[in-house]
Chain A
Amino acid sequence: MLYPPPTTSTTVELNLPKKPIWGEPQVPAKPKTPSEWFALKFPDAVARYGCPFLEVRQSSCDGFTMVTPAVLNVDFFAGMLAGDSKLGHSVIYLENEMQFYYREPMQNVFKPTTAEKLQTYYRAMLLRCAQELNGETDKLNLFAEFRSDKNARAVTNRAKSILACSSDFFSGTSPNTRIRGPELHERLMGVLCETMLEPNGESHVTVTQAYRAFCRLAEQRQLGTLRRSQFKATMTDLMREQFGVGLRRDVPDAFGMQQEAWKGVRLVNVETLAA
């Protein structure tokens, strides 16, 4: 029966890549432990949330060492899910919608993703770490324990607080854009106010006229439809901000029927609708 060589020393370590000493030639650092591997890949997350693993180094009398990642730093891995800024990646969690979004770097738009997909990404990074490291690393925890559903769920649950964004992250005035979010409709209403409406004391714009113009603009941009009630609510605020007028319900139409309209504003530049 073979017995493992007796261990001569066991130390618990928080390993991070060594900083280059001044005057030393700059060579790309080669990670020797799982913590170093993740620290080199995600320096921002390490700077913010600390060392990825608590590692145990066992040295035996025959001169070999074995590094075992023993405990996971959940905060680091939740922070890692935020993405690599060098690659233009960004992942956020919109609390009011309870939804994760990631940024497509080529298009610079945010798209929705799920906690389960983030868990798959987390597991893939652990597996890649295990595959790329040398034989001095005990890979059992990397492959099995840390990739378990329980740990993966703990990481994405923590990410909900670490990556949390306020509800105005995608607001109409925010530089952040997402695919077909409701703020696109709000921005389009802003465009409608700025380019197709102008103050005019004698005129008025009915809600129906404005809504039709808006629907044409939305159709041109393939944004889909917005309910008239939602349009009216947002547009009322925008008209007050832009022109200082409120919605009135006593504006007579051609048949003398009262209708909802904004007085003192007129619709112009209608030909751009057809363009």
Chain B
Amino acid sequence: MSDHERRMEQMSQARKQHHESEWRLNFLRTIEAQPQPQPTDEEIIKCYIHRQQPAQLSN
């Protein structure tokens, strides 16, 4: 499997998980004044495929 194919497969899987995650989380969220910015493809892959959480709020 080439790098490009692997990347496309990861992207497809990550988007599917992101869609499922958003569907569930929308039941728990409250309406905010400003909508959350849409995550980039890289962020989605990091979050759902590599399970790398972004850095926590640092003080």
Contact = CB atoms under 8 A, between A and B. Distances in A.
Contacts of A87: 17, 20-21, 24, 48
Interface residues of B, number: 20
A113 interface: yes
Interface in A159-216: 175, 177, 184, 187-188, 190-191
B30 A106 contact: no
A107 interface: yes
B28 A113 contact: yes
Contact of B47 (A102, A105, A124, A217): A105
A175 B57 CA distance: 10
A259 B11 CA distance: 62
Contact of B54 (A91, A108, A124, A221): A108
A177 B47 contact: no
B53 A108 contact: yes
B54 A113 contact: no
Instruction: Choose among A106, A121, A188, A191 the residue with the greatest number of B CB atoms under 10 Å from its CB.
Output: A106
Contact of A102 (B28, B36, B39, B56): B28
A135 B20 CA distance: 24
Interface residues of A, number: 31
Interface in B12-54: 17, 20-21, 24-25, 27-30, 36, 39, 43, 47-48, 51, 53-54
**Binding site of A, secondary structure by majority: helix, strand, loop or mixed?**
mixed
A252 interface: no
A118 B28 contact: yes
Contacts of B39: 106
Given A87-B48, A88-B47, A88-B51, A102 B25 contact: yes
A109 interface: yes
A55 B2 CA distance: 47
Contact of B24 (A84, A108, A177, A190): A84
B24 A184 contact: no
23 contacts: A84-B21, A88-B21, A88-B48, A88-B51, A88-B53, A89-B25, A102-B28, A105-B21, A105-B25, A105-B48, A106-B36, A106-B47, A108-B53, A108-B56, A109-B56, A117-B27, A118-B27, A175-B56, A177-B57, A184-B59, A187-B59, A191-B59, A221-B59
Interface of B: 17, 20-21, 24-25, 27-30, 36, 39, 43, 47-48, 51, 53-54, 56-57, 59
Given A111-B30, A113-B30, A177-B57, 20 more contacts: A84-B21, A84-B24, A88-B53, A89-B24, A102-B28, A104-B25, A105-B21, A106-B39, A111-B29, A112-B30, A117-B27, A118-B27, A121-B28, A124-B27, A177-B56, A184-B57, A184-B59, A190-B59, A191-B59, A221-B59
